Homo-oligomer: A and B are copies of this chain.
């Protein structure tokens, strides 16, 4: 298999953008990524399109990629629509990587896009709630929160008991990620908050307060992946050192092993690095407690030691391993089918020194972790990528 490089990566602002449709979001992200890559649209060999809730919210099932890319003049080439819930676009990135690594294609486009704002907000929550086995957990009608927040809350309660982590630790994750978001012009939010402000925001489901939950977001991200022959040589190259997808684990077998851990272990093997080599990471903080658990699943901390990292400031910008320098899902926003590629855009910008006020100094190895769906107590899909400069 060949080395694969990211030649261009771009995203729209992640924000509530009720006036825009999916096509408009895709057009902006794709145009910017293709321009950065310095390729012509006619050089694209294939496109992999990740989306999660357009079917539920607008009825656009099955051919959303073709529908959104045709207005740009993208035709003829294979367009492949991918779904893996909140991990849809990192899964699309994986397929694009595979296509270039195999030698099948030279230049491919990867897109993640989501339009979530809807005049009836409960429709967005209901759509997200379909990322489970709907025969066992039928989608609820009108709701005031994503059903997955109940899952995250239960996970948080179990984790608190096992680890001694407190709501203050969860709030500290929010404070950090909102601070990071304030340095990111593409982020939905970003603010200087205190732990107390986070704890005093409206309770969604204990122990989660509103500010501990990722928001409803519209946005798109795109990347152009190329073989070495087409990789730009100016300004350093970004190599995809590992691209791993794992579905979850039946807890009857190994209750202590979860999909993010499986995926990370395989990714470290593939990249020939370990957690100690990671300079910055974007992880799936759909709810704040998940970030602490992910520190452990990804090998950044020992079991039940996740909270120690946030307490010591190690995962804050300026610390030894900044996590979610973009602001993460909590502050950058969470347009579900675009989130994974948004993380990868951040990783590319960090290791190519383009991250502006939130630049992790000297970053050359970045990890992203993107989880999707829920099945039998674990993510239905997890993607872990490792990008390395050079």
A242-250, A272-280, A322-330, A342-350: which lies at the interface: A242-250
- What 1/0 mask marks residues of chain A from 23 to 59 whose CB sits below 8 Å from any chain B CB? 1000000000000000000000010000011011011
Report how far A300 CA is from B133 CA in the complex, Å.
45
Contact partners of A63 in chain B: CB under 8 A: 83-85, 131-133, 372-373, 375, 380-381
Smallest CB separation, A119 vs chain B (Å): 16
- In the complex, are the beta carbons of A247 and B102 less than 8 A apart? no
- In the complex, are the beta carbons of A131 and B61 less than 8 A apart? yes
Smallest CB separation, A305 vs chain B (Å): 25
- In the complex, are the beta carbons of B79 and A81 less than 8 A apart? no
Q: Is A217 an interface residue (CB 8 A)?
A: no
- In the complex, are the beta carbons of A88 and B62 less than 8 A apart? yes
Q: Is A78 an interface residue (CB 8 A)?
A: yes
- In the complex, are the beta carbons of A66 and B373 less than 8 A apart? yes
Contact of A130 among B53, B59, B102, B138 (CB under 8 A): B59
A91-99, A181-189, A283-291: which lies at the interface: A91-99
Q: Is A151 an interface residue (CB 8 A)?
A: no
Report how far A152 CA is from B130 CA in the complex, Å.
33
A69-77, A170-178, A192-200, A225-233: which lies at the interface: A69-77
Report how far A247 CA is from B48 CA in the complex, Å.
12
Contact of A61 among B83, B135, B138 (CB under 8 A): B83
Report how far A94 CA is from B105 CA in the complex, Å.
13
Q: Is A360 an interface residue (CB 8 A)?
A: no
Report how far A1 CA is from B99 CA in the complex, Å.
11
Contact partners of A80 in chain B: CB under 8 A: 82, 84, 91, 94-95, 245
Q: Is A103 an interface residue (CB 8 A)?
A: yes
Contact partners of A23 in chain B: CB under 8 A: 135
Contact partners of A85 in chain B: CB under 8 A: 62-63
Q: Is A162 an interface residue (CB 8 A)?
A: no
Contact partners of A127 in chain B: CB under 8 A: 61
- In the complex, are the beta carbons of B250 and A62 less than 8 A apart? no
- In the complex, are the beta carbons of B1 and A59 less than 8 A apart? no
Contact partners of A83 in chain B: CB under 8 A: 61-63, 81-83
Q: Is A104 an interface residue (CB 8 A)?
A: yes
- Which of A23, A102, A103 has the most chain B CB atoms closer than 10 A to its own CB? A102
Contact partners of A132 in chain B: CB under 8 A: 63, 67
- Closest B residue to A378 by beta carbon equals B75
- Closest B residue to A46 by beta carbon equals B245
Q: Is A201 an interface residue (CB 8 A)?
A: no
Contact of A56 among B55, B74, B134 (CB under 8 A): B55
- In the complex, are the beta carbons of A60 and B134 less than 8 A apart? yes
Smallest CB separation, A129 vs chain B (Å): 9
- Which of A60, A75, A94 has the most chain B CB atoms closer than 10 A to its own CB? A75
19 A-B pairs in the complex with CB atoms less than 8 angstroms apart: A1-B102, A46-B245, A53-B62, A55-B130, A60-B135, A62-B84, A63-B373, A66-B375, A66-B381, A67-B132, A67-B135, A67-B375, A70-B375, A73-B250, A74-B247, A76-B259, A78-B94, A80-B94, A95-B98
* Beyond known contacts A46-B245, A58-B135, A66-B381: 15 more, CB 8 A cutoff: A55-B61, A59-B139, A62-B372, A63-B133, A63-B372, A63-B373, A63-B375, A66-B247, A67-B132, A67-B133, A67-B134, A67-B135, A78-B246, A79-B247, A79-B381
Q: Which 5 A-B pairs have the closest CB atoms?
A: A102-B102, A78-B245, A63-B373, A62-B85, A66-B380
